[in-house]
Structure 1
Amino acid sequence: MIRLTLALALLLSVSIIANAQVLSDSILVEGNYRTFYFNKPPDTFRKPSLVFVLHGSGGNGRDMMKAAVKMDQQAANENTLVVYPSGYKRYWNECRKSSPAQANVENVNEQAFFDGMIQYFRKRYSVDTKHVFAVGTSGGGHMAYKLALTMPRAFRAITAIIANLPDTTNLDCEPAGKAVPVMIINGTDDTTNPYNGGVVVLGKNMNMGAVRSTDRTLAYWANLAHYQGKPTMENVPDTDPNDGKIVERYMYKEKGKPEIVLLKVNGGKHDYPNDIDVHLEALAFFKRQIQ
């Protein structure tokens, strides 16, 4: 029965993707046409929020849409427009100095790309530019960190999945020093993005340099928001006891301060846990920041 339910859910998701009217466009940024995808918004939208969903290294925006079907469905009912941009030649120019990706080598202007997209959706769909968010996986998580570090006035909050901040020796962004709400979702058994910090290697020869530990990454954002002491902790319901993963939620939350959250996936690798839908978690986190 469970397998049948999962199979039906998968078929429904595929059907939704196939039947949705997927739109794509591009904007010219310093000589490069940068592309993004989104489902046609309903006519009921009124000054919608805007959420960017960022793919991992080697991916693209169109394929990333398949990973966030449930989020896109729910967002459509919550006056939220979801957009899936593509990195430059499948990678982002994020904050890792050691990255051999062409986006980093050519130092493509990601800030101009995201600012251009925000203005695009403001003009065409009247999005609320005070309610702009980003959630990214792996390399996309690094790009989300860059947006929070360098464009904190443009982004209300970000979520980074299976990504730690670059180590100080591998950081080539100039942080603005402004605190924003941040949620991190990392697995303790992740060998690609080491939970306890270390060098990130993609494939055989793509050395992305060192990242901080998850604890140091959490502490960076918490310190920026002027939190002291330890965060509160609660166990997330173990809805799939067969996946070998247990999720714990650590939270800094005080009135007048940005909310800082870590979802620690005990036993998690460089993947998504089954106990939660990471994109729905991100959407709920974003929604809390405007309530």
Structure 2
Amino acid sequence: MNAVTIGSLLAGVALLAGLALNYLFVPKRASPSLNTSVKQGMLKIGGHARPYLAVIPHDLPPNAPLLLVFHGSMQTGPGIRLASGYAFDQLAVQHGFIVVYPDAYKGAWNDCRTAAQFPSQREKIDDVGLVQALIAHFEASHQIDRSRVYAAGYSNGGQMVFRLAAEAAGEFAGLAAIAATQPTDDNTSCAAPSQPIPMLLIGGTRDPIVPYGGGMISLFGLQPRGTARSFVDTARYYAQLNGQTEPPLDSGQPPVGVLRFAQKDRRPVVAYTIQGGGHVVPGPASAFPGLMGRIERSLDAPAVIWTFFSGLQTTSVSRSEK
């Protein structure tokens, strides 16, 4: 093998290594200096220690809202905090609420999909109980406003949001799911949700894991996790749950389309479609590996989610009223 051939091979290897790094690399961002306390805590649920991270503004107002943010599979609470560019932290300071990032059991939430088969599902981990315990904890420790408790989730965390819609909707004033679509009826272990709940959805048309048009969810063709509805059908599913009977308003400008089910006296459903978007949290500071697809920087998903939540009429009741 001559020097030219060896040089070409080395150049090819270097190119492939560079491409691999580009697809796998996630830029690190330092945590911003904010007027908050960042506290690590733990609750024991069903014999399991469940860690969480809470970001609490120093000047938190009385009766503040609470936002729970659920990470995707193979992530952690701190991981989704970084991946979303610490945007929820900054919103917490700007608008005066607590944001909590809990950790799933062994890397994944016990969502409703029968085909997923995470350890949390096989071991029947009580993630709904964890959520209720977290709400009760912050109600006791910080006197949060129980009528303004919200949850947002990404990927497997979005599937956890769908489980909460089915089994604990009364705990929340609003929910949001990113890069997640409703499981089909033959791929769910949960009863259908029965209580109206405001829902915001964000999905990309080129999501490599969750097909925008519906079908089999999988990790790039591996580890199939069962079928799910299309993104638009998921929006219609929750609109029907909420008693929305009028056609949605179609707005937005490319590359972001918006469907709004906003019939008066009905809980709203809003769905943001990212043309060419991947399996990511859109945002100007979001950080995901390239293999997850394109990040739309013009849509600040955390800000859109909080605007949706803060614009809702609070309908939840206190625990004493249930």
- Taking only aligned residues, the RMSD between alpha carbons, in angstroms, comes to 2.0
What is the aligned counterpart of 1:220 among 231, 234, 237? 237
Structure 1: distance between partners of 2:56 and 2:242:
36
**Equivalent position SS for 2:209:** coil
The count of aligned residue pairs is: 273
Q: How does 1:97-116 map to 2 (within 5 A)?
A: 97-116=114-133
Structure 2: distance between partners of 1:203 and 1:121:
38
**CA-to-partner distance for each residue in 1:60-107, whole Å, 9 max, x for gaps?**
001222225223212222121111011011100011011121011111
TM-score for the superposition, normalised by structure 2: 0.80
* 2:112 aligned residue: 95
Structure 1 position 214, deviation (Å): 1.1
2:64 corresponds to which letter in structure 1? P
Structure 2: distance between partners of 1:229 and 1:40:
40
* 1:202 aligned residue: 219
TM-score for the superposition, normalised by structure 1: 0.88
Structure 1 position 112, deviation (Å): 0.6
8 A Cα contact 1:131 1:290, kept in partner = no
**Equivalent position SS for 2:310:** helix
Answering whether residue 193 of structure 2 is matched by residue 173 of structure 1, we say no
* 2:263 aligned residue: 254
Structure 1 position 266, deviation (Å): 1.3
Q: How does 1:126-145 map to 2 (within 5 A)?
A: 126-145=143-162
Structure 2: distance between partners of 1:61 and 1:108:
17
* 2:68 aligned residue: 52
Gaps of 5+ in 1: 1-9, 239-245
Change (3 A) 1:18 1:73: closer
8 A Cα contact 1:136 1:161, kept in partner = yes
8 A Cα contact 1:191 1:269, kept in partner = yes
Q: Which moved more, 1:252-261 or 1:19-28?
A: 19-28
Larger Rg: 2
* 1:147 aligned residue: 164
Q: How does 1:1-291 map to 2 (within 5 A)?
A: 14-16=30-32, 21-66=37-82, 67-202=84-219, 205-236=222-253, 246-271=255-280, 272=282, 273-290=296-313
Change (3 A) 1:259 1:18: closer
Structure 1: distance between partners of 2:204 and 2:80:
20
* 1:6 aligned residue: none
1:259 corresponds to which letter in structure 2? P
Gaps of 5+ in 2: 1-26, 283-295, 315-322
**CA-to-partner distance for each residue in 1:126-159, whole Å, 9 max, x for gaps?**
1111111111111111111111121110011111
- Structure 1 stretches of 4+ with a deviation exceeding 3 A read 17-21
**CA-to-partner distance for each residue in 1:22-56, whole Å, 9 max, x for gaps?**
21111111111111101233244211100011111
Change (3 A) 1:103 1:17: farther
Structure 1: distance between partners of 2:90 and 2:168:
28
**CA-to-partner distance for each residue in 1:160-210, whole Å, 9 max, x for gaps?**
001100111001112341110001101111121001111111256422111
**Greater relative contact order (Cα < 8 A, sep 6+):** 2
Question: How much identity, in percent, do the aligned residues show?
Answer: 27
